[in-house]
Structure 1
Amino acid sequence: MAATKGIDCAVPLTAEKARAMAAAGMKFVCRYLVPISMEWKRLTRAEAEVITAAGMQVVSVFQRGTNDAAGGAVNGIRDGKAALHEAKLVGQPVGTAIYFAVDFDAQPKDYAAIEAYLRAAAKELPGYSVGVYGSHSVLEEMAKRGACKHFWQTYAWSKGKLSKAANLYQYKNGQELAGHSVDYNDALGGEGWWNTNPPAVEKPVNKFDKESAEEVISILGSVWMASDNDPGVREATTMQRTLYVML
């Protein structure tokens, strides 16, 4: 079975480019939740609607610099709060994922700080699921530690290995698609993506179909006829028929 294809990009998409990417077979777009000071790469509600209208899903990733995760819990608190603010602005549904970038060649000496960063960010994001973007070794270690729930691997620094924990895999950087600079990704399941479509509302199910209703009416009619010699039965049957009409 072929993997589901998608892209990530720093510069926001126009409606025309989103449609062109969807036509090229892309099913999702990874975009940045960042503070307004980084507006040039910032996901907006309008862009999320454009991506959805083109028939693609949105994957949210928070990233200020390349190695903020190395700053541990202090940075995690700061970035978690900022990510929550941005997620609410763009209307990202709760229950979906926000990935946090570890965009450097992290070493074992960095793992404790990265874990602390992710756990601190998660505490600031009630209702959302936290993920990590990073190398094979980062994903393997964070999965082993249970530091987050979603995993997006980059081929960079990964030495040709693919983590079994990966939900997304970024396999080629610096490409051009529809006149836009993109990186190519595969979706591997459990991505935590979202769109701006309203949630489906289940329609109430009628208690009786036509056949059942006709059967009940027939039974009530028989009881009604049999009640001619018993006023008590007639009164009870009248109440039953009234209740049935109200259903």
Structure 2
Amino acid sequence: MTKGFDCATPLTVAVTAAFRSQNFEFVARYLVPSGWKALSRKEAEIITEGGLQIVSVFETTANRPLDGREAGLNDGATALQLAIDIGQPAGSAIYFAVDFDATIAQMNTIADYIAAAAEATPGYYTGVYGSYAVIEEMYKRGVCSRFWQTYAWSGGKKSEVRNIYQYQNDITLNGINVDLNESYGKEGWWNTNEIPEEDEMNMPMKLEQWQWDMLYQVLGAAYNADQLSWEWMQKIVDKTLTVTELVFLNTVLDGRVDRGIKV
């Protein structure tokens, strides 16, 4: 078992050192587009130099997953770009938050959101943060592979598949507001010492076959609508698409598809 915490406040050198001296080994921080709580590359370097691992969590609003598949695709694409920008290495995890007391009736929509976010973040493991019910349901449906359970809304139950468990909220420690967590392995955490070299960004991605199939399906819709040239589809067939090229496609398609411009 490993000791950790999550917080909205960016960490300084001094605060990171204080937590490390208290035997904390990881911190979960927000992988979000903007705002005071967003993790930056500079902060990631500070955390790494201070001896902590980083867990990335994407959350804009608590009930965002209720917007379903389209929101998941958009948020996944955003998370992918942010992860690359701050130096989060492929092979680590991005957790997507379900930060409310979700009902059974809402699980289909939540699963659609998480599955779509996974589609949009190839090269990264996809995780979900949520209650016992959310963790169990997403595990059963197979929409992600990493699980961060909160004690909130869980009625004292603990999922057997949890990788991280949040057991206390809203305490002040080392001058900042934090939640306390413990982890049990395969968290998907990372640090900036693992940043891939530039050349690796331009090497063919190492994906499982189901991930290549998913990419083909998602981008195939744009190809069938005459918004994407076959050159890009061929790269997927040949498994030669690079991370740099995928980021380019995510960025350009968002801006051009609505205007009918072929990529």
Superposed pair shares fold, TM > 0.5 = yes
What is the aligned length? 197
Deviation at 1:182, TM superposition (A): 0.4
Q: Distance in 1 between matches of 2:140 and 2:7?
A: 29
Please point out which of 175, 191, 209 is paired with 1:179.
175
1:112 aligns with 2:121: no
Q: How does 1:151-166 map to 2 (within 5 A)?
A: 151-166=147-162
Q: What SS class does the counterpart of residue 5 from structure 1 fall into?
A: strand
Kindly provide the amino acid, as one letter, of the partner of residue 7 in structure 1: F
Among the aligned pairs, what percent are the same residue? Answer: 53
Q: For each residue in 1:91-129, what CA deviation from the matched residue of structure 2 results, as whole angstroms up to 9, or x when unmatched?
A: 000011000000000011111111110111111111011
Deviation at 1:198, TM superposition (A): 4.1
Q: Distance in 2 between matches of 1:174 and 1:92?
A: 27
Larger Rg: 1
Q: In structure 2, list runs of 5 or more residues that go unmatched.
A: 197-263
Q: What SS class does the counterpart of residue 142 from structure 1 fall into?
A: helix
TM-score by length of 1: 0.78
Kindly provide the amino acid, as one letter, of the partner of residue 145 in structure 2: K
Task: Look up the match of 2:13.
Answer: 15
Q: For each residue in 1:141-179, what CA deviation from the matched residue of structure 2 results, as whole angstroms up to 9, or x when unmatched?
A: 110110101000000000011101100000000011111
Retained in 1: the 8 A contact 2:31–2:57? yes
Please point out which of 121, 125, 128 is paired with 1:129.
125
Q: Distance in 1 between matches of 2:147 and 2:67?
A: 20
Q: What SS class does the counterpart of residue 40 from structure 1 fall into?
A: coil
Q: For each residue in 1:13-54, what CA deviation from the matched residue of structure 2 results, as whole angstroms up to 9, or x when unmatched?
A: 111100001101110000000012xx2000011111111111
Question: After the TM superposition, which parts of structure 1 deviate over 3 Å for at least 4 consecutive aligned residues?
Answer: none
Kindly provide the amino acid, as one letter, of the partner of residue 190 in structure 2: W
Q: Distance in 2 between matches of 1:165 and 1:71?
A: 26
Q: Distance in 2 between matches of 1:148 and 1:14?
A: 32
Task: Look up the match of 1:77.
Answer: 73
TM-score by length of 2: 0.73
Q: Distance in 1 between matches of 2:195 and 2:132?
A: 35
Task: Look up the match of 1:190.
Answer: 186
Aligned-residue CA RMSD (Å): 1.4
Task: Look up the match of 2:139.
Answer: 143
Q: Distance in 2 between matches of 1:126 and 1:137?
A: 26
Q: Distance in 2 between matches of 1:184 and 1:164?
A: 19
Task: Look up the match of 1:26.
Answer: 24
Does the C-alpha gap of structure 1 residues 114 and 154 become closer, same or farther in structure 2, counting only changes over 3 Å? same
Task: Look up the match of 1:35.
Answer: 33
Deviation at 1:199, TM superposition (A): 6.7
Task: Look up the match of 1:92.
Answer: 88
Does the C-alpha gap of structure 1 residues 75 and 189 become closer, same or farther in structure 2, counting only changes over 3 Å? same
Q: What SS class does the counterpart of residue 193 from structure 2 fall into?
A: coil
Q: Distance in 2 between matches of 1:7 and 1:157?
A: 19
